[in-house]
């Protein structure tokens, strides 16, 4: 029996069985799949398909099953390991007691405990008319579909073509997704001998707005501890950090005066890999002038712009001007398809920060709404709103944080109340650890 036969027999059989996706399917084969009969029809049972087994997708899966014991829930995830972005900056910065192991989890445990299926495969198209998704290996009918696809990278805003983008990705990994990029960035930090280490902050809306600034502080802390003759240069297109600006700038000015150089209003236009040089337009707010500047670096963490999966555009879902998913306020239902939900970083409708906590909080709410809808009960959309708390360490043992509380305004729009805690505090370190233990045990145990 070959691998394809095995997949046909096995992918849906058990929650604890995972198969690798074959990447050998030809384009013709995939195209013809779309017109073929569906190989996994519903068979008179409700089926929710969740695309993406990250913070949002796994939370939705668990919470549907907590409230509905009949529906079949299938999560599609091409990565065969869950490697967390939250907590990864602590590992990069060499915070005592934080190991790579702390970032790694297996979704098989919740899949088996809450009885949902996890299929190690990538969804390549959605036929919303027929309510069918096609993966690299199969096609599945759905009753309801959840897109929890997180983010993809967009290097084009740095003036890079596809070939250049691949090279930048490999040499200066963004580490804005979990997995091998993290291993490479860690290695690069550890072998850094001194000089200029650049971190670029993405243009436009991006995942975890404080993360590049936290990463800069923790890498600088690491270099400082090793007494390296090194400087972390942050190139930011904004006039100040995108989140917790006062707290980060205070930390840079007090703890890392000789180790961090924050360069605001710096809009990258080109990266020359051979010469290890970044070219950027520097906006002088006082003179209202743009000057062309460049910076030579020894190593870098190039974090590109973020964008939503092309599945959204290709399947004709309504998007915001920046390309993120639009939904009907105050719900998570796509603006133009009642049977499709969007959750996590892919969501662009509300002023929610793209964070694991927000993805998780929305996932809990959405899971229950979907379960109620399938139970033929009132899904109570708009009765509960998500919240967020985001801790950022600025040194090995101190940090700052922010909270967000979503609510519906009198005009029906969904807004967010923000509270900032920007005084550098040692207690925040304990809160960070407790928060991370809480969210990961809620999803994986
Ligand atoms: C360095 C860093 C630090 C962070 N720290 C924090 C923090 O302290 N607190 C916090 O709350 N947040 C933090 N975040 C943000 C957090 O990681 C994200 O907001 C969170 O992962 C979003 O969850 P998600 O499920 O939307 O996306 P992900 O967790 O990225 O999951 C999306 C999944 O979808 C899968 N997928 C994509 N396309 C397909 C497809 N076609 N078929 C099948 N599967 C697909 C992907 O493989 C991926 O696993 C941090 C982020 C970074 C980068």
Is 192 a residue whose pLDDT tops 50?
yes
Task: Identify the band that residue 37 occupies on the pLDDT scale cut at 50, 70 and 90.
Answer: confident
pLDDT digits (tens, 9 = 90+) for 394-445: 999 999 999 999 999 999 999 999 999 999 999 999 999 999 999 999 999 9
Is 65 a residue whose pLDDT tops 90?
yes
Ligand 1 atom closest to Cα of 58?
Answer: 25
Q: Mean pLDDT throughout 322-333?
A: 97
Ligand 1 atom closest to Cα of 432?
Answer: 8
SS3 105: strand
> What torsion do the CA atoms of 130, 136, 138, 139 make, to the nearest 10 degrees?
-10
Ligand 1 atom closest to Cα of 354?
Answer: 19
The protein residue whose alpha carbon is closest to atom 28 in ligand 1 is: 54
The number of helices, as runs of H, and strands, as runs of E, in the chain is 12, 23
The protein residue whose alpha carbon is closest to atom 53 in ligand 1 is: 176
pLDDT digits (tens, 9 = 90+) for 237-249: 999 999 999 999 9
| Ligand 1 centroid distance, CA of 132 (Å) | 24
Question: Does 149 sit in the ligand 1 pocket, CB within 6 Å?
Answer: yes
Q: What is the pLDDT of residue 15?
A: 35
Q: What is the pLDDT of residue 254?
A: 97
Give the torsion sign (CA, 248, 104, 370, 141). positive
Q: Above pLDDT 70, what percent of the chain?
A: 92
pLDDT digits (tens, 9 = 90+) for 169-184: 999 999 999 999 999 9
Question: Does 123 sit in the ligand 1 pocket, CB within 6 Å?
Answer: yes
Q: What is the pLDDT of residue 24?
A: 39
Q: What is the pLDDT of residue 31?
A: 52
> What torsion do the CA atoms of 235, 239, 242, 248 make, to the nearest 10 degrees?
80
Residues 242-277 as b or e (16 or more Cβ within 10 Å = b): bbbbebbbbbbeebbeebbbbebbbbbeebeeeebe
pLDDT digits (tens, 9 = 90+) for 47-61: 999 999 999 999 999
Q: What is the pLDDT of residue 124?
A: 98
CA dist., res. 89 & res. 392, Å (int): 9
The protein residue whose alpha carbon is closest to atom 23 in ligand 1 is: 55
- Give the Cβ contact number of residue 152 at 10 Å: 16
Ligand 1 atom closest to Cα of 347?
Answer: 26
Q: What is the pLDDT of residue 36?
A: 63
Q: Best substitution site from 20, 55, 153 to test ligand 1's pocket, by max atoms within 8 Å of Cβ?
A: 55
Is 326 a residue whose pLDDT tops 80?
yes
Contact 293, 308 (CB under 8 A): no
Q: What is the pLDDT of residue 285?
A: 87
Ligand 1 atom closest to Cα of 355?
Answer: 19
Question: Does 53 sit in the ligand 1 pocket, CB within 6 Å?
Answer: yes
Q: What is the DSSP code string of 270-310?
A: EEETTTTEEEEEEEETTTTEEEEEEEE-SEEE---EEE--H
Every domain range in the chain assigned CATH 3.50.50.60: 3-150+308-379, 155-305
CA dist., res. 63 & res. 214, Å (int): 31
Is 213 a residue whose pLDDT tops 50?
yes
Give the homologous superfamily in CATH for domain 155-305. Answer: FAD/NAD(P)-binding domain (3.50.50.60)
Task: Identify the band that residue 19 occupies on the pLDDT scale cut at 50, 70 and 90.
Answer: very low
CA dist., res. 171 & res. 24, Å (int): 27
Task: Identify the band that residue 38 occupies on the pLDDT scale cut at 50, 70 and 90.
Answer: confident
Q: What is the pLDDT of residue 14?
A: 33
Q: Mean pLDDT throughout 334-343?
A: 98
CA dist., res. 77 & res. 401, Å (int): 31
Is 7 a residue whose pLDDT tops 50?
no
Distances in whole angstroms, Cα of residue 127 to Cα of each of 60, 79, 140, 316, 437:
22, 23, 10, 10, 38
| Ligand 1 centroid distance, CA of 409 (Å) | 28
Q: What is the pLDDT of residue 35?
A: 54
The fold for domain 3-150+308-379 equals: FAD/NAD(P)-binding domain (3.50.50)
Q: Best substitution site from 19, 20, 51, 52 to test ligand 1's pocket, by max atoms within 8 Å of Cβ?
A: 52
């Amino acid at each position: 029996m070959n691998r394809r036969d095995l997949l046909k027999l096995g992918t849906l059989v058990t929650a604890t069985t995972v198969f690798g996706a074959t990447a050998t399917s030809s384009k013709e084969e995939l195209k013809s799949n779309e017109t073929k009969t569906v190989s996994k029809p519903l068979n008179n049972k409700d089926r929710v398909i969740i695309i993406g087994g990250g913070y949002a997708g796994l939370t939705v899966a668990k919470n549907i099953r907590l409230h509905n014991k009949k529906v079949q829930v299938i999560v599609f995830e091409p990565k065969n390991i869950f490697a967390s972005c939250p907590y990864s900056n602590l590992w990069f910065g060499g915070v005592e007691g934080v190991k790579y192991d702390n970032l790694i989890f297996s979704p098989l445990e919740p899949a088996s405990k809450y009885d949902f299926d996890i299929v190690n495969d990538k969804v390549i198209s959605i036929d919303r008319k027929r309510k069918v998704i096609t993966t690299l290996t199969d096609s599945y009918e759905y009753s309801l579909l959840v897109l929890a696809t997180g983010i993809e990278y967009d290097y084009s805003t740095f003036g890079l073509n596809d070939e250049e983008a691949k090279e930048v990705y490999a040499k200066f990994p963004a580490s804005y997704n979990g997995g091998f990029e993290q291993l490479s960035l860690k290695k690069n930090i550890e072998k850094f001998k001194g000089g200029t280490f650049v971190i670029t902050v993405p243009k436009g809306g991006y995942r975890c707005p404080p993360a590049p600034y936290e990463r800069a502080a923790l890498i600088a802390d690491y270099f400082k501890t090793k007494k390296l003759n090194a400087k972390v240069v942050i190139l930011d297109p904004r006039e100040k950090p995108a989140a917790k600006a006062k707290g980060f700038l205070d930390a840079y000015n007090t703890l890392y005066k000789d180790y961090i150089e924050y360069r605001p209003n710096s809009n990258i236009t080109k990266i020359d890999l051979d010469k290890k040089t970044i070219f950027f337009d520097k906006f002088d707010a006082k003179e209202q002038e743009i000057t062309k500047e460049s910076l030579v670096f020894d190593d870098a963490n190039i974090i590109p712009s973020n964008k939503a999966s092309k599945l959204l555009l290709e399947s004709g879902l309504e998007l915001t001007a920046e390309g993120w998913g639009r939904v009907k306020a105050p719900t998570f239902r796509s603006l133009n398809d009642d049977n499709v939900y969007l959750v996590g970083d892919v969501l662009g409708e509300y002023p929610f920060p793209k964070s694991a906590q927000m993805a998780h909080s929305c996932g809990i709410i959405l899971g229950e709404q979907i379960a109620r809808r399938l139970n033929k009960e009132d899904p109570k959309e708009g009765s509960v709103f998500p919240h967020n708390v985001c801790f950022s360490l600025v040194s090995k043992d101190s940090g700052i944080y922010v909270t967000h509380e979503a609510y519906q305004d009198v005009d029906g729009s969904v807004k967010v109340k923000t509270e900032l805690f920007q005084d550098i505090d040692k207690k925040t370190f304990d809160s960070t650890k407790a928060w991370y233990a809480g969210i990961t045990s809620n999803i994986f145990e």
